[in-house]
Structure 1
C-alpha cells in the first residue's frame, strides 16, 4: 500500500466549522493532510480551473451561498475523481438521496459526532488505499512496455465495474480488446465480517494474500486470456476472453475453472467463495449491463446459501438443486417468461404466464418450496425494475410482500388470486408510468439524445427514458433504424457541430463542448472522419465558396 498522505479539501461557509473539521481530519493520523480549505463551492471550482491540483477526498457542506455542495460535487467530477463526504445541518432525506446520486456515500449531520466522523474517514481511507493499491499495481505494469495495453484495459474495466458510466460516443474503447467470446466472473469471500473480526489484522492480511496467490497461480495456468482486478471489500473480478466461436465449450471451461478455484480456496485457506458467472457475450459495450446483472445474481446467496457457483444460464438448475420436485424447471422458466412479459408490456401474455406459474405451485407439497419459488419471482421482479425502470418508487415492489402473502393465505385458490393481483398490480403501475414513453421508443430516445447531446450520454441513460433493458434497447434501436445507438449519437453530434461552425462565431473547442465532447482533439478527429477536413479547415473552405 502507498505511504503517500491522503489529501483532503474542506468546503464550508462557516470559518469556525471549517477549522474544526480540519482539526478533526488531522487528528485521524499522520497519513491525513488538508491541502486547502474554501468558504464556498465556487471558490474551489475557480481555484481548480485556474491551476488544477490533486486531492483524494472532498468534505463539503450542502447549503452555501453561491454554489451548494451537491452542485460542487457534480461540477468537480467533470474534472477529476475523488471521494465526496457531505455534511449538513439538515436531516433531510431528499438531500441524502441527492447526495447518494452524486456518489457521496458518506453523509453526516451537524453537529458532527467526533467518533462517527473518524469511523467515516477510516472507511473512506480504506477505499482510497485500495484504489491507490490498484493504481500502484498498474503503474508497475506500465514500466513493462509489453504490458502497457493490458494496463489500459484493466484501468477501463475497473472504472466500469466501479460504476463509472461511459458516454456512447467513446464506446470505441472496446477496440483495444481482442474479439471473441467473453464471460465475467465476480468472486466474494463468504462470511467476510466474521473472518475479519476473528483475526488480527496481520493474520487477515496474510490469508488475503494467500487467497490472491491461489487466483494468480491458477490463472497463470489457465489457457484463456484474462483480466483480474480487485473489487470493493473482499471481492474480485475476472474477465475471460476466448477467441474461438464455440461458446458452449467456453462456458463449460469457465465453469470447470470456477469449480477448481472454489475447491482450492477451501482446501488451502480458511475461506470459502461464492462465484457469480455471466452469460457468454461478444460485445464489450454491454459490460456495464453485464456487471449489474452479475451483482444482482450475487443476491441469490440469500436463497441458495454461500459457497456456491451462480450462473445466469443455470438459474433453473439452481432451483432444481434445492428442490426435489419434477416441476422445478417449469416453475423457473415461467418466472423468466413473466419477466419477459413485463419487459414487452404484454398484458395478455403476462396473465397467461402468471396463471401457469400459480398452477405449477399447486404441484408442490412442501411449504418451504412454495416460499422459495414465490420469493424467487419477487427477487427477479425487483431486479428487473431496478435495472430497467429506476424512476419507479421503491414501494412498487417490496420483497417483504412474499412473507406477508404466504402468511395470510389458506389455500391454493387464494394464493393464485393474490399472486395474480400482486403481479398485475406491478404491471399496471408500470404501465401508467411508461404509457407515454412506450408509444414510440425510438423517437423518444432520438429526441432525448438531441436534447441532451451536450451532456454525457450512456446506453443506460437512454434506455431509462424508454423503460427498456439496455441490451434489448440497443438491439431494438438497430432493428428499427438500421444504425447503432453509437452511430446515431455520433452523427447527431457531428452534424450539430457543423451547423454551429457555419452559423456562429464559436471557436472549435467551444463547439466541441456544445455537442458533448470534452476532448477537442478527439472531436476534431471524428469531424474529419465525417467531413474529410478538420473543423477549422472545413469552416474556411465552406466560407471561401
Structure 2
C-alpha cells in the first residue's frame, strides 16, 4: 500500500479529491491532509509519503517550495500539482522542477487517474533500482540550469559538504569563466508588492520577470545564475578578479528593472569570494548588508564594504535625545523639529543595521520624554495600552522613514500637550510657590528643595521660575528676605544677629554683607539714617 497526502487551502477541494477516485482500490492510503505550504512540508518530513497531490498556490509556502524541500531531503515522493491558474508558465515551472503532472481545477476524474497511474509507475521503477543512480533520479529529471540553481542555493545556505558539491559540479560538467564569485542580494520594493492590485499570481509573475531580466544582464557581463530566496533573489556573478567592479552591472540591473517593469529594487553587493568554496561568506555579507536597507530608500545600491565605515557614538545619541526632551518641555517647537533630525541620524548610526535596535532607541525617546514630563508635573495622558499599540505599530513599519514619521507625529502630539498644559495651571503653581517662599523664607530654602515641593526637576523649575518672574530663584528669595529684614529693622528693637536668624541667615556677617549689597548700607547704618 502506497501512502499519499492531499493538500489545498480549501477544505472542500480536499474532500472532493478523496471521493473522486477509489484510492484504496488503487492501493493508496490517504495518510494526511494539509491547508498550508508549511503544514504540508512538516507532514512530508514526518511521514515521507509516496505521493503528494497539492495546490501549487498555497499560503505559507508555494508548491514549488514544497517540491524543492522534497528534493533537498532526497525523498522518492512524487508530486502532482493542481491549480485554478491555467497559465502555461505555472505548468512549465512545475514540470521543470520534477512534478509528475499539472492538473487544472476543476479536476477531471480521468485526468487524475492518469496522473496517479503515472506516479505509481515512476515509483515502481524507482523501487526496482536502488543503486546510487536512485539518489540522482531527481536531478536527472531536470535541466542543468535548475540543478545548478539548487546546488548554489544549498552552497549559500551551507547545507551541503564541499566534497559533495564538487561531485555534483563534475557530474553536471560545469565550467566557470573565472575563479572568483560574488553574491548580489536583490529585494523588490515592499510597498509595490503590498499594493492591493497585486495578487499572489501577479507577484510571482513579477519576480519571474525580474529574474529573467537579471539573468540576461549577467550573461552580457560574463556568467552567473539567479535563484529565489523567499521573496528575494540571489544572484551569483562569476568573474575573473577579486577587485572587479560590479557597480556598473548592479546599476544597470536596477535601472532596467525600473524602466521595463516599473518597480524599485534594492541590491546589496556581497564581498568577493576567491573561490566557489567561499561563496557562503559572500552570501552572508550581502544578507547582512541588506539589513541596512531598512534605513535607505527603495532603489538603493549597497555594498558590504560600507559596513566597515558604519557605527555611531552612544554619548552623541544620549546627548541628542536629552536635547529633544529639554526642547519639548521648554515648548520650543521649531527647535524640537531641528533636534529630532539630529537625533534620528544618531539613532540610525547607533542601530548599526539592526531594525530592532532602531525601534528600541526611538521608543526609549518616547518613554524618557514621558517620564520627564511626569517629573515636571505634566501628565503625558498615555495609557499602557497606547504604549503597547505604539510598539506593535513600530515593528510593522517596513522602513526607517516610516518609523521617523510615526515618532514625529507622537512627539508633536506630546508637544501640544505640554503647550496646552500651561495657562491657569502654571499661574496656580506660581501662586503656590510664592506663598511658600513668603511663609518659609526664614528656613533653608534651596532651588532643589523648592523644586521637589512642586514635583519638578531642578532644571525645569529654574527655567519655569525665571519665565514667570523674570529673575532667578536665588535672587528672588534674597529679595524677600531683605524686605522682611528692613521691616524688622524699622519696626522692632531686635538686634542685627536676631534679625539675621529670623530671615534665614545663621551667619550675621553674611546677612550684613547681603543687606549692604541690596541697600548700600549696613543694617545699623540704614536704621540710623531712616530714623534720623
Q: The TM-score by the shorter chain falls in which range? A: 0.3 to 0.5
Bigger Rg over Cα: 2
TM score, norm. by length of structure 1: 0.39
TM score, norm. by length of structure 2: 0.40
Structure ranking higher on relative contact order (CA contacts 8 Å, 6+ apart): 1
